[in-house]
Amino acid sequence: EAGVAQSPRYKIIEKRQSVAFWCNPISGHATLYWYQQILGQGPKLLIQFQNNGVVDDSQLPKDRFSAERLKGVDSTLKIQPAKLEDSAVYLCASSLDVTGGDGYTFGSGTRLTVV
C-alpha cells in the first residue's frame, strides 16, 4: 500500500511569512495527526483529526497555526506568520484503528527552516 505522502520535503522562509504543508494519508485511514519535531527532541502532537473533525488541538498555537481536513482525506497545516522557533520537521501520520492501537504510519516529513 502507498504510504503517507507529504509535501514539500523542504521549505525555507523568512520570519513573518506564511507557509503551508500538505498531507495525504493512507487510503482508508480515518485518523490523521500532525506532529512537530524540533531538532533533538521527540515529536509533539499539534492536532488530531477523526475524519474531518478535530479530536485534539490543545497544543496547536492557534494564533498562528491552522489546520484543516475538509473532505476527511487530505490535510493542510498552515503557519501565518512564521517565527524563528517554528523551525522544525512537521510530520503527518495516519492510523486505521480509531484508538491508534495499531500504531501510526508516518510520512517523511517537511523540514521547515525560518530565517
Partner 1 sequence: AQSVTQLGSHVSVSEGALVLLRCNYSSSVPPYLFWYVQYPNQGLQLLLKYTTGATLVKGINGFEAEFKKSETSFHLTKPSAHMSDAAEYFCAVGQAAGNKLTFGGGTRVLVKP
Q: Facing residues of 69 across strands?
A: none
Kindly state the smallest distance separating residue 103's Cβ from partner 1, in Å.
Answer: 4
Output the furthest CA–CA distance in the chain (Å, rounded).
39
Q: How far is the CB of 109 from partner 1 (least distance, A)?
A: 5
Residue length of the chain? 115
Whether residue 8 is preceded by a cis peptide bond, meaning omega within 30 degrees of 0, is: yes
Q: Which residues have C-beta within 8 Å of that of residue 102, sequence separation ≥ 6?
A: 95, 96
Q: Which is nearer to partner 1, 79 or 91 (CB)?
A: 91
* Residues engaged in binding partner 1 (CB under 8 A): 4, 33, 40-45, 48, 55-56, 91, 93, 95, 99-109, 111
Residue nearer to partner 1 on the CB measure, 3 or 80: 3
Nearer to partner 1, 107 or 112 (CB): 107
